[in-house]
Structure 1
Amino acid sequence: MAQTLLAGTTVAEVMAELAELENPKFRAVNTNHGDDHGVNLSQLRAVAKRLKTQQELARELWQTGDTAARLLAILICRPKAFERAELDAMLRDAGTPKVQDWLVNYVVKKNPHVEVLRVAWFADADPVVASAGWALTTDRVAKSPEGLDLAGLLDLIEADLKDAPARLQWAMNHCLAQIGIEHAEHRARALAIGERLEVLKDYPTPPGCTSPFAPIWITEIVSRRQPEAASSSR
């Protein structure tokens, strides 16, 4: 039976509970996505809810290098408490896609150094680090595009998307789709780039989900929003 973890819990106690939550079936599924842990994420979130925010414990859990512990650390940390260099080191050591994704979305996006990190990571020679820069750029494309060179981003995508390593390619493709979705003046070009490059065109998409193939993705989301725009103008 899992322990009830409260404030003041030690790393050893947390690791013991995570070991109890380990499930070989979950690990097998996660392994197929490049993630080396077997803890159900709903259960992990329940542990985080009991622990609440504990910045020092979060740092200690991160230092274990264990993927489940790092995901828990992300959930109980104070995003604004990290220094820029600390986040840079964490990103470079994140390892698995899930840890990187959560670190970027749950921590870096809420940190005051986010824009400095976005610019630095975007231009990094390591494609995994660069993928984080592209993810943060995609967020700006959607929420605060002022100052971004959208045409320049499309130039880079058109030149590099096809042959980019998998994680970077996914992030660049997301940016391509977001530009097409959010910015009508660039939509035709975004669609044309997607059609020509055919990146993720044959990606297996479960029923009810939107394909990551940019032309389908753009068209689907824009079509969903059109009724909203029509109704709001009445």
Structure 2
Amino acid sequence: MRDRRPQVSGTKAAEATVTDATVTEVLAELAGLDDPKIRAVNERHGDDHGVNLGKLRALAKRLKTQQELSHRLWATDDTAARLLAILICRPKAFRRDELDSMLREARTPKVHDWLVSYVVKKSPHSEELRLAWTADPDPVVASAGWALTTERAARKPEGLDLGGLLDVIEAEMKDAPDRLQWAMNHCLAQIGIEHPGLRTRAIDIGERLQVLKDYPTPPGCTSPFAPAWIAEMVRRQQAE
């Protein structure tokens, strides 16, 4: 059977050799951290793991960066192991095709989101992947492209056609599948928050489409409904 683990050149020679026993030990530790109550909550959101994320981060801190172990943990297809793999990898070490394959293999929302946020955003291939993924026919893959676009709209908007993005959001967000709709809505809100010249249009689009207007929002939290989200974040900025 062909080894489908991502292969990375330039791995530090000083990195300890990872054995099957090492992977087995880590998986056993993750199994010991599994909490049925946490798993039940996570499964309602599509995430099949029961590990407290604070404890997962503590384990990652103890293991430190280990690229080969990260590969081996990712190859298990276990959600908790993949989250740990993301935390101990070297983001800039992955090739473009490896990141593309990993995103398509990411079965659960948490793995998908962490891979984009903690790995792809730090990769030298992030812009190329942003363009490719945004145009992908798979809405889950496209949502990753929109997540990268949101990041760029907020931090490095130079050369980005923000008005054109609003055109696409206005035309497509209302009927987009849930994951893609959420990512596009985040981009809409971010443009409205960070770019005063486009704020009125972003709010108007949100008001007209009514996407996520009735989303359940706990007391003290900000609604994901773009007009409310924009208004609250601008209020905080002005209060600083």
Q: Please report the TM-score for the alignment, with normalisation by the length of structure 1.
A: 0.93
Partner AA of 2:147 in structure 1: A
CA distance in 2: counterparts of 1:88 and 1:105, whole angstroms: 14
Partner AA of 1:226 in structure 2: Q
What is the CA-CA distance between 1:207 and the residue it aligns to? 1.2
Alignment-derived partner of residue 233 in structure 2: 221
- Any residues of structure 2 matched to 1:1-234 within 5 Å, and which? 10-228=22-240
Alignment-derived partner of residue 4 in structure 1: none
Partner AA of 2:213 in structure 1: K
Query: Please, which runs of 5 or more residues in structure 1 have no aligned partner?
Result: 1-6, 229-234
CA distance in 1: counterparts of 2:225 and 2:32, whole angstroms: 39
CA distance in 2: counterparts of 1:47 and 1:89, whole angstroms: 26
What is the CA-CA distance between 1:10 and the residue it aligns to? 1.0
CA distance in 1: counterparts of 2:212 and 2:201, whole angstroms: 18
- 1:39-90 CA-to-partner distances (Å, cap 9, x unmatched) read 1101111110110000000000000000000000000000011000000000
Partner AA of 2:65 in structure 1: T
CA distance in 2: counterparts of 1:21 and 1:95, whole angstroms: 21
What is the CA-CA distance between 1:34 and the residue it aligns to? 1.1
What is the CA-CA distance between 1:172 and the residue it aligns to? 0.1
CA distance in 2: counterparts of 1:18 and 1:226, whole angstroms: 44
What is the CA-CA distance between 1:227 and the residue it aligns to? 2.6
Structure 1 residue ranges, 4+ long, deviating more than 4 angstroms after superposition:
none
CA distance in 2: counterparts of 1:166 and 1:31, whole angstroms: 17
CA distance in 2: counterparts of 1:15 and 1:181, whole angstroms: 42
**Count of residue pairs the alignment pairs up:** 222
What is the CA-CA distance between 1:206 and the residue it aligns to? 1.0
Query: Please, which runs of 5 or more residues in structure 2 have no aligned partner?
Result: 1-15
CA distance in 2: counterparts of 1:118 and 1:161, whole angstroms: 18
What is the CA-CA distance between 1:208 and the residue it aligns to? 1.1
What's the Cα RMSD here?
Answer: 0.9
Partner AA of 1:69 in structure 2: A
- 1:10-63 CA-to-partner distances (Å, cap 9, x unmatched) read 111111111111111000110111111011101111110110000000000000
CA distance in 1: counterparts of 2:181 and 2:131, whole angstroms: 18
* 1:161 partner SS: helix
